[in-house]
Amino acid sequence: MTDSELAHELNLLILKTRMTFRQTIQRLLKKNNVDMTFEMLQVMHCLWKEQGVSQQTLAEKTAKDKACLTNLINNLEKKEWVVRREDTNDRRNKLIFLTPEGEKVAEKIKSLLKDMYTQIGNQMNTRHMEACMKHLNKLNEIFDQI
């Protein structure tokens, strides 16, 4: 196989891994009776790292367009997991916060994810994970240069 063909196969494997990861997360949520989509989880994950962010910031961090993100936030509001508040510095902006109920859900999900990552860590040794990370970082650098 040529280097070009290997690079193509590598990228296909990365895409397959991404899809498998997404499906695994969706199964994990469903199995634990968490009524949440993968996209909602992406938003929630951003919010449990930093609350009170604008919709624009969430759109950038989740790589979602504004219309899609608005729908996601609307659905999260209906579940009473997030709330929009006016930005005191710019009344046109809405800042997004987890509600107390959203924080409870976030804690449950964090625990589920920690267990999943522990399983992964138990099945892959540190050296292999570090090598994967090194190679993926290199690939990201290359993509940024193209």
> What type of residue sits at position 140?
N
User: Is residue 29, in this structure, part of any structural domain at all?
Assistant: no
- Per-residue pLDDT averaged across 115-120, rounded? 94
* CATH number of 51's domain: 1.10.10.10
Is 6 a residue whose pLDDT tops 90? Answer: yes
* 18: confidence class by pLDDT, cuts 50, 70, 90: very high
Nearest CA-CA partner of 140 in 21, 14, 25: 14
Cβ-in-10-Å burial (0-12, 13-18, 19+) of 109 comes to buried
Is 88 a residue whose pLDDT tops 90? Answer: no
- Per-residue pLDDT averaged across 58-68, rounded? 91
- Number of structural domains in the chain: 1
For the stretch 36-60, pLDDT in tens is: 999 999 999 999 999 999 988 999 9
User: Is residue 40, in this structure, part of any structural domain at all?
Assistant: yes
User: Is residue 88, in this structure, part of any structural domain at all?
Assistant: yes
Note the pLDDT of residue 51: 92
> What type of residue sits at position 129?
M
Quote the domain boundaries for residue 109: 35-145
User: Is residue 41, in this structure, part of any structural domain at all?
Assistant: yes
* 93: confidence class by pLDDT, cuts 50, 70, 90: confident
One DSSP character per residue, the chain reads --HHHHHHHHHHHHHHHHHHHHHHHHHHHHHTT----HHHHHHHHHHHHS-SEEHHHHHHHHT--HHHHHHHHHHHHHTTSEEEEE-SS-TT-EEEEE-HHHHHHHHHHHHHHHHHHHHHHHHS-HHHHHHHHHHHHHHHHHHHH-
User: Is residue 50, in this structure, part of any structural domain at all?
Assistant: yes
Note the pLDDT of residue 90: 80
User: Is residue 10, in this structure, part of any structural domain at all?
Assistant: no
User: Is residue 26, in this structure, part of any structural domain at all?
Assistant: no
User: Is residue 53, in this structure, part of any structural domain at all?
Assistant: yes
